[in-house]
Amino acid sequence: MMNFKEIIAKLPYEKPFLFVDEIIEINENGISGTFTFDASSDFYKGHFKNNPVTPGVILIETMAQIGLVSFGIYLMNESGEKMDEIQIALSSSEIDFFKPVFPNEKVIVKSQKEYFRFNKLKCKVEMFNLKDELVCRGKIAGMIAVKTSR
């Protein structure tokens, strides 16, 4: 079984577009992890003027990186797939937003597998703030491709 740091290292992202700090828990049915939004991130400069709020698309990306890609890496590894490089194509997302996320705020993403077949993963994903308030939730699906060296 891969450890949490190995999963994060396999992600096809790097700073400033890596939105996974920690994986808290993972098993064949789901994953949970955290990310803290750095107040110095460029997207806060203009969203919104004098009142910075994390853009919804960044929240979706955070949910996808933790709840879909990290989880997919784990599932592919558990199935015995040799993985040198992971590629993911987000195929759909349907997210409802309930609370804003502000600079320096830490969020927790929890994802539950709906299905994983033919390298397509679909999950029910929720994001909470540290007050355990629901920030957003929905469904995210994507195709996972693996490149292996020969």
Q: What is the CATH number of the domain that holds 97?
A: 3.10.129.10
Expressed as residue numbers, the domain containing 9 is 4-147
Q: pTM for the full model?
A: 0.93
pLDDT in tens, 50-68: 999 999 999 999 999 999 9
Mean pLDDT to the nearest integer, 4-8: 93
Q: In what order do the strands lie in the sheet with 120-129?
A: 22-27, 30-36, 106-117, 120-129, 134-147, 85-97
Active site residue 47: yes
Question: How many domains is the chain built from?
Answer: 1
pLDDT in tens, 7-41: 999 998 999 999 999 999 999 999 999 999 999 99
Q: Determine which one of 22, 36, 47, 112 is catalytic.
A: 47
Helix, strand, coil % (nearest 5) of the chain? 25, 40, 35
